[in-house]
Structure 1
């Protein structure tokens, strides 16, 4: 087989790239080691910046998002028993975010790819990338006991942190940066109305908490926990009791509970690899970077990576110019590091660290009080939260 761009990984970044390339007539084949059902069974966050929404519209995958997504003009910072609302819309000149689950984004993109007739190969084993440092790269894989080969012009590695794409690059060609946080998020999904129509980010001496939602009848709640905790140690009752302790009294009283249908613990880390281009291989999304979920940047950073790579590939095929592809890594990393800074800052301000003393606690409280009292500080927070331009 031959194609112009081989895409490794069928999460949102790989599917979005494939759909955007299809709109300008660039052929792709998509490979994934797991099944579509497995991919759609993964629970992920879903706070989308305007830029990500625009890309989904450009890819022809935004109809259901606009019909079912929840537009949020702000969110609440809760601390010292009080709420302080960050007015995203007012502070950023009309920008906002859309709450729409990543699973639903993936479902919409899968449906669009199926409708386009573009080839997707799932449950592909032993995927191997070849000669991406030369002019004629190719990918091999095994399926149904047979070995297959895909010749291509370029390879897009959209296969996540544990995927084959980054692992195919010689270690000497990579520089990696990583921070491991000493806690995780225990998350719970329940079919119950959210406690608030907007997200609540809560700072408390017992630890961080987040009140979010997937719809007006499905809620997603998180509490900070030790990395040594296990899900089995947390009954629903214990979770709801702890969440109430970390919320201001009026939210705790308004909280409605229901049996959970998903519960998991996610460790927090920051990770960046440089560069993101190796000859004709380009790393995209989680294959190149991870952010803590505190700033809601993971999916949005993957979308901006896709934007830069799509523009470079379109320029290559339309104009015969490789300038956009040459600039891909530098452009993507410039935005990535700003988002890493923001996610690190939000994580540092809102969480309780094991080594914190009374002085550190007071510094967090002073930072939050400054945010509540300073329009300039609130504006900086809002600008980063809705997403820096790309």
Structure 2
């Protein structure tokens, strides 16, 4: 089998890249170790930056997004129950974010795959990459039947997450890894209840962080900061609702509509970046190269911006016989990645309670949030980063 680009992983990075390449007539194949139901069913991010929304429109895949997505022109911060609003749209010349679950994005990408010539191999196991340091890489895999297959290609793009084969295929002598493990996690639930507010609320309370979010006008997504060794079985729905309402404050908490959760999970928080994002003919994109805490809503959006940059480079290679974009991919993508990592780290640092915080640290958080409340330039900086920096 022969193709121009072999993509490992059918998550957001892999599927966006496959559609972008198909649009420009570049042959590609996507290898995914799970089935579609598994990939589409993973509960993940739900806030799309302007760049991601624009890209879905550019691909002609935004019909359901336009119909079901919740456009937010702002967001809310809360300090010990006192709410204040950030007018993102007004501060960024009309840019917004859209609440539309990752599951819905993946559904749209998968539904359009066949008619657009996007080839996906499901249940591709034991994937290996050979020859990425030469001129003709080969990717091999085994299917559920036990049959072995291989594809020869010009380039391999690893979109297979933190535990995939792609990053592990880059020699340790070439790669540097940067990591920050946060000393807390997020306990989150999904419930079929209307959201407490039309836009998100990021709450800093003396007992810890809380986030009031949503997936639709009738489905709410709520989170509270928790210890990393917490057990789900210790958190009944009643206990979760009580703690959430306490951290959101009496005014907002009194408006929370309670109901049984149908999904509950604890997620650790971590920042991770691997450099470089290219080794010869092997490229990394999305979670294979970087992880950010969910505070800044950057995970899926960073994956999309990675492959938007990479697709542009491949088009330049095949249509203009120029490798300038390919050679600059890693540095260009990493410049954007580190800005997102910085924002996510900063936003986490001013909204969460750290185990070693003393009274001085707490006062610094409060001063930072009070400064944001009273300063339009500070609000503009937050808004510009939250809605997503433009591709450069």
Per the TM alignment, residue 60 of structure 1 is displaced from its structure 2 partner at its CA by: 2.3
Aligned counterparts of 2:343 and 2:249: Cα–Cα separation in 1:
25
1:357 matched residue in structure 2: 358
Distance 1:350 1:371 in 2: 12
CA contact (8 A) 2:175 2:276 kept: yes
- 1:41 deviates by 1.6
> Which residue does the alignment assign to 2:116?
116
Task: Give the match's secondary structure for 2:348.
Answer: helix
Aligned counterparts of 1:168 and 1:360: Cα–Cα separation in 2: 42
2:138 corresponds in structure 1 to 138
Q: Which residue of 2 aligns with 1:248?
A: 249
Q: Shift of residue 114 of structure 1?
A: 2.3
Deviation of 1:118 (Å)? 2.6
2:70 maps to which residue?
70
Distance in structure 2 (CA, Å) of the matches to 1:124 and 1:387: 34
Task: Give the RMSD, CA atoms, in angstroms.
Answer: 0.7
Q: 1:214 & 1:13 partners in 2: Cα distance?
A: 21
Aligned-partner Cα distance in 2 for 1:56–1:138 = 31
**Partners in 2 of 1:125 and 1:387 — Cα distance?**
35
Structure-2 residue corresponding to 1:30: 30
Q: Deviations over 1:334-369 (max 9, x none)?
A: 000011000000000000000000110000000000
Within-5 A mapping of 1:250-269: 250-269=251-270
1:118 & 1:372 partners in 2: Cα distance? 47
The whole-number CA distance in structure 2 between the counterparts of 1:292 and 1:118 is 31
Instruction: Indicate the residue corresponding to 1:185 in structure 2.
Output: 186
| Contact preservation (8 Å) 1:79, 1:202 | yes
Structure 2: 5+ residue runs without aligned partners?
none
Q: TM-score, normalised by structure 1?
A: 0.99
Match of 1:57 in 2: 57
Q: Once the 2 structures are TM-superposed, how far is the Cα of residue 315 of structure 1 from its aligned partner?
A: 0.4
Number of the residue aligned with 1:82: 82
Q: TM-score, with normalisation over the residues of structure 2? A: 0.98
**1:146, 1:360 → 2: CA distance?**
59
Shift of 1:236: 0.5
Say which is worse superposed, 176-185 or 249-258, in terms of deviation: 249-258
Alpha-carbon distance in 2 for matches of 1:117, 1:260: 39
Q: What is the Cα deviation at residue 248 of structure 1?
A: 2.2
2:21/2:311 contact within 8 Å kept: yes
Shift of 1:115: 2.2
Distance in 2 between residues matched to 1:192 and 1:28, nearest whole Å? 42
User: What CA deviation, in whole Å up to 9, does each residue of 1:144-185 have, x standing for no partner?
Assistant: 111111011111111111111101111111100000000000
Q: Distance in 2 between matches of 1:306 and 1:257?
A: 40
Name the SS of the counterpart of 1:244 in structure 2.
Answer: helix
Name the SS for the 1:173 alignment partner: coil
Q: Is the 8 A contact 1:16 1:59 kept in 2?
A: no
Aligned to 2:151: 150
1:100 and 1:299 map into 2 onto residues whose CA distance is 12
| Structure 1: runs of 5+ lacking an equivalent | none
Q: Matches of 2:148 and 2:93 in 1, distance apart?
A: 54
Cα distance in 2 between the residues matched to 1:283 and 1:277: 6
Q: Deviations over 1:16-42 (max 9, x none)?
A: 000011011111111011111111121
Tell me by how many angstroms 1:63 deviates.
1.3
**Counterpart-to-counterpart distance in 2, 1:50 and 1:119:** 28
Q: CA deviation at 1:224?
A: 0.1
Residue by residue over 1:290-348, the C-alpha shift from the partner in whole angstroms, topping out at 9 and shown as x without a partner, is: 00000001111111101110000000011111100000000000000011000000000
Rounded Cα–Cα distance in structure 2 between residues aligned with 1:217 and 1:46: 15
Q: Is the 8 A contact 2:210 2:244 kept in 1?
A: yes
Corresponding residue for 1:2? 2
2: CA distance, partners of 1:104 / 1:329: 29
Alpha-carbon shift at residue 289 of structure 1 (Å): 0.3
Distance in 2, Cα, partners of 1:104 & 1:115: 18
1:38-71 deviation per Cα after TM superposition (whole angstroms, max 9, x unaligned)? 1112100111111111111222221111111000
Instruction: State how far apart, in whole Å, the 1-side matches of 2:141 and 2:286 are.
Output: 22
Higher alpha-carbon deviation: 74-83 or 194-203? 74-83
Q: Could you tell me how far apart the structure 2 residues matched to 1:56 and 1:4 are?
A: 23
Residue 44 of structure 2: aligned partner: 44
- Say whether the 8 Å CA contact 2:30–2:121 is kept in structure 1: yes
Tell me how far apart the structure 2 counterparts of residues 79 and 109 of structure 1 sit (CA, whole Å). Answer: 39
- Please give the secondary structure, in 1, of the residue aligned with 2:336: helix
1:165 is aligned to 2:160: no
Asked if the contact 1:174–1:275 (Cα under 8 Å) also holds between the matched residues in 2, the reply is yes
